[in-house]
């Protein structure tokens, strides 16, 4: 088994473990779908692709299909998605129609439901698996995805960081996204101990994030970013990108973030050059501070994702991100 296939199998096993613990009562799913569509469920198939939400592809009595996503945050969820999807559709971004957002208290657990009209097609990663990233068809899809991403980034948010159901970000200043991690030094030092990472590397990473306020200060305008723009969230059909999926991590950020995050997770297997080719606002790639901001984002992603994978007990993921972080820190 080659290394790439081994990583993919490890990740699939991790997702299976995560989703085995996510089981909303069937009667609640039926009730919410009935309210959203006026139809009964004929069949539902679990989709195991993401790390947070319980997701189903639901076939309705009238032959149509919807996608049901179920969140277990401690607060009502999906309002930010509904706002972002509405704005994206207005901007010409193909996105699934939101039919219903509903919050249901199930015992001690708050379940947030999002019912979306299903977009017909397949995700780009499945095309890549069969044809390879270098095929002309896949490159064309990636170029189209870049054009669409530029439309999404044309949308402004009211502030930086995670947004609410009105598009208002958590922070007024861009630097606060990074300084939030710096202010959690105690938590990160405990993390270093838990995952056998040299605490000096954690200290170096936090010091780096703390000492570049001049770079953060150059990001003046918060743009809507997807937060998980990836081949698995790009729906294609008959030569065209027909949908962008999963708006759960939308935020007010620099447009650069979506490119850096793609490169962080998929750069080795899905180079981002074709996406950049389609992106219409090429000026963001020529900004004098782009290289330094990119490196800072890489450090941020390393820290936060080691934390996330440790919290979700994905040891193989922790080890891979540790290596990425160590490599990135060498550039400072």
Taking phi over 0 as left and psi of -120 to 50 as alpha, with beta for the rest, 58 belongs to beta
What percent of the chain clears pLDDT 90, i.e. is strictly above it?
86
- Which of the residue ranges 1-10, 19-28, 141-150 would you say has the lowest mean pLDDT? 1-10
What does the alpha-carbon distance between residue 310 and residue 5 come to, in Å, rounded to a whole number?
22
- Which of the residue ranges 112-121, 126-135, 206-215, 242-251 would you say has the lowest mean pLDDT? 126-135
Instruction: Give the pLDDT confidence score for residue 5 in this predicted structure.
Output: 67
Q: Could you state, in order of their start, the residue ranges of all structural domains in the chain? A: 3-117, 122-329
Instruction: Give the pLDDT confidence score for residue 3 in this predicted structure.
Output: 61
Residue whose token pair is 């782009």: 290
Bridge-partner residues for 114, per DSSP?
A: 69, 101
Instruction: Give the pLDDT confidence score for residue 4 in this predicted structure.
Output: 62
Bridge-partner residues for 169, per DSSP?
A: 163
- Which of the residue ranges 11-20, 111-120, 165-174 would you say has the lowest mean pLDDT? 11-20
What are the backbone angles phi and psi of residue 56, rounded to the nearest 5°? -135, 145
What does the alpha-carbon distance between residue 227 and residue 112 come to, in Å, rounded to a whole number?
20
Q: Which CATH superfamily is domain 3-117 in?
A: Phosphorylase Kinase; domain 1 (3.30.200.20)
CA Rg value for the chain = 20
Architecture of domain 122-329: Alpha-Beta Complex (3.90)
What does the alpha-carbon distance between residue 5 and residue 159 come to, in Å, rounded to a whole number?
40
SS3 250: coil
Instruction: Give the pLDDT confidence score for residue 286 in this predicted structure.
Output: 83
Alpha helices for the chain (secondary structure H):
3-20, 26-37, 79-90, 124-131, 136-153, 175-182, 185-194, 199-210, 213-216, 256-266, 273-278, 290-311, 315-329
Query: Contact, 306 vs 197, CB < 8 A?
Result: yes
Cα 11-277-5 angle, rounded to 5 deg = 20
What does the alpha-carbon distance between residue 272 and residue 71 come to, in Å, rounded to a whole number?
30
- pLDDT greater at residue 14 or residue 129: 14
Residue whose token pair is 């129609």: 97
pLDDT tens, position by position, 260-287: 999 999 988 888 999 999 999 998 888 7
pLDDT tens, position by position, 193-251: 999 999 999 999 999 999 999 999 999 999 999 999 999 999 999 999 999 999 999 99
Instruction: Give the pLDDT confidence score for residue 24 in this predicted structure.
Output: 97
Instruction: Please give the DSSP secondary-structure letter assigned to residue 97.
Output: P
Instruction: Give the pLDDT confidence score for residue 230 in this predicted structure.
Output: 96
Q: What is the pTM of this model?
A: 0.94
Name the nearest CA neighbour of 181 among 80, 289, 302. 302
- Half-sphere exposure of 70 toward its Cβ, with a 13 Å CA cutoff? 26
Residue 38 pLDDT > 70, yes or no?
A: yes
Residue 1 pLDDT > 60, yes or no?
A: no
């Amino acid at each position: 088994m080659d290394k790439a296939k081994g990583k993919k199998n490890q990740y699939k096993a991790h997702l299976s473990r995560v989703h085995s613990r996510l089981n909303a009562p069937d009667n609640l799913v039926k009730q919410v779908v009935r309210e959203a569509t006026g139809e009964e469920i004929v069949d539902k198939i679990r989709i195991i692709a993401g790390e947070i939400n319980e997701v189903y592809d639901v076939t309705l009595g009238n032959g149509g299909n919807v996608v049901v996503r179920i969140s277990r945050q401690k607060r009502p969820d999906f309002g930010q998605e509904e706002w972002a999807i509405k704005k994206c559709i207005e901007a010409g971004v193909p996105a699934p129609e939101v039919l219903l957002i509903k919050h249901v208290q199930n015992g001690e657990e708050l379940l947030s439901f999002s019912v979306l009209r299903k977009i017909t097609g397949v995700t780009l990663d499945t095309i890549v698996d069969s044809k390879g990233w270098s095929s002309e068809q896949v490159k064309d899809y990636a170029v189209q995805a870049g054009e669409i991403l530029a439309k999404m980034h044309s949308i402004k948010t009211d502030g930086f960081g995670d947004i609410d159901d009105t598009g208002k970000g958590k922070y007024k200043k861009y630097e606060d996204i990074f300084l939030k991690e710096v202010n959690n030094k105690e938590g990160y030092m405990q993390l270093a101990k838990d995952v056998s990472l040299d605490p000096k590397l954690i200290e170096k990473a936090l010091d780096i994030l703390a000492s570049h306020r001049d770079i953060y200060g150059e990001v003046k305008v918060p743009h809507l970013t997807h937060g998980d723009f990836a081949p698995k969230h790009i729906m294609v059909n008959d030569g065209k990108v027909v949908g962008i999926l999963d708006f759960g991590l939308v935020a007010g950020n620099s447009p650069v973030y979506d490119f850096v995050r793609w490169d962080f997770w998929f750069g080795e297997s899905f180079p981002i050059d074709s996406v950049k080719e389609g992106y219409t606002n090429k000026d963001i790639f020529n900004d004098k501070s782009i290289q330094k901001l990119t490196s800072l984002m890489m450090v941020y992603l390393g820290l936060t994702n080691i934390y996330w994978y440790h919290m979700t007990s994905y040891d193989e993921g922790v080890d891979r991100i540790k290596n990425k972080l160590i490599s990135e820190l060498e550039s400072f």
